Amino acid sequence: MTHYISSESVSEGHPDKIADQISDGVLDACLRTDPAARVAVETALKSNLVLVAGELTTTARVDVGQIVADTLARIEYSPEAFNDSFACAPGNLQILQALVQQSPDIAQGVDGESFDEQGAGDQGMMYGFACDETPELMPTPIAIAHRLTKATSEARRNAVVAGLRPDSKAMVSVEYVAGRPTAISTVVISVQHDPDIDVDPDLRQALLDKAVMPSLPEDLRDPDVTFLLNPTGKFVLGGPYADAGLTGRKIIVDTYGGVGRHGGGAFSGKDPSKVDRSAAYAMRWVAKHIVAAGAATKCEVQVSYAIGVARPVSLMIDTFGTERVDRKLISEVVDDIFDLRPAAIVRDLDLRRPIYYKTASYGHFGRQDPDFTWEQTPHAAEMATSLGL
């Protein structure tokens, strides 16, 4: 049976991702001096207006305006480069703040000295996913989509392709036969550019040669692949000038590209006491261990919590018929190895560190970075032994 799966990625210059980076920039600023900080920050952007709102309970001194300016400068949105076409640039910003302390009603369920006293910061369900389609154990479409947006960003930063601006998107459609990826059928890329750039053929050909083709796995290159590069033609106005940005609006880009389910909770701007973030990382950790141990070739894990309660309400492991051992045994071994109480997750993944800004673009999963502890599989050999593999 043949079917197709599509996934998209967006660059760090996309307005929603700018918002995510600002929110995680505030979180990192708190954690640098106050690892116990409680942070839940949302950011909205439009033109030259930036609104940062939420809850902060911290001893850290945080300069939100400087974080906004530094974020835009790091992405290379500058008034010099964009003149009046980009109103949301350093030196031309209106920054509004609506930050208060965390509700004591929430804090009483999260605070506590023992791991059983430190409950979840909210109710909800979180998912993790892993499969053996790629070396990073991620679904093929989202893995390639992230490669493409990173490649266009690097082409801009390194001036490999002339005249590019920070906002870009990519989407990849992959053909599957009998459940395995066999070919890339369509690649869609839209990249913001300077007004004097000729899109056809100059920009399109440069993108194809310098960014797109080097990002595509050779074994999946279909000779009949369809390339749609800047399909509308002109893409000069971008970022928050052309489209409002909002924290948490790219949760599928952040996770598995629509392969596997999502509990609905965003990650950026939330400290690890919020299980929306920490438990989603833990579920990826568990699912990746199951695949890395050879127990299955595809795995999805769901956990659910009640606010103020430490131990999960439920845990579900689905291996989609790809398991090599009994699923009940897999669940028992997972229960033996992994402590899924929120405080234990924070401890085991060492999450109270200022590592979150770099998670806010190009996905939270499948990244080869030592700070992404949820991508490491130190218990894979132990799991394999316990499962008799």
Residues taking part in catalysis: 14, 16-17, 42, 55, 169, 235, 243-244, 249-250, 270, 274, 276
**Residue in the structure block whose two tokens are 């799966």:** 5
| Alpha-helical runs (H) found in 34-133 | 64-75, 79-82, 104-110
**What Rg value do the Cα atoms of the chain yield, rounded?**
22
Q: Is 339 exposed, middle or buried (0-12, 13-18, 19+ CB in 10 A)?
A: middle
List of residues 6+ apart from 140 with CB closer than 8 A: 5, 133, 134, 174, 181, 220
Give strand pairing partners of 43: 52
How far apart are the C-alpha atoms of 179 and 317, rounded to whole Å? 19
How far apart are the C-alpha atoms of 31 and 351, rounded to whole Å? 10
CB atoms within 10 A of CB 157: 12
Q: Calculate the alpha carbon distances from 12 to 38, 316, 331, 348 in Å.
A: 25, 34, 38, 29
| Residues 101 and 37: beta-carbon distance below 8 Å | no
Reduced to 3 states (helix: H, G, I; strand: E, B; else coil), residue 182 is strand
| Residues 32 and 381: beta-carbon distance below 8 Å | no
How far apart are the C-alpha atoms of 129 and 263, rounded to whole Å? 12
| Residues 119 and 258: beta-carbon distance below 8 Å | no
Beta strands in the chain (DSSP E): 2-10, 38-46, 49-57, 94-100, 124-131, 164-177, 180-193, 221-229, 245-246, 298-305, 314-318
How far apart are the C-alpha atoms of 192 and 162, rounded to whole Å? 11
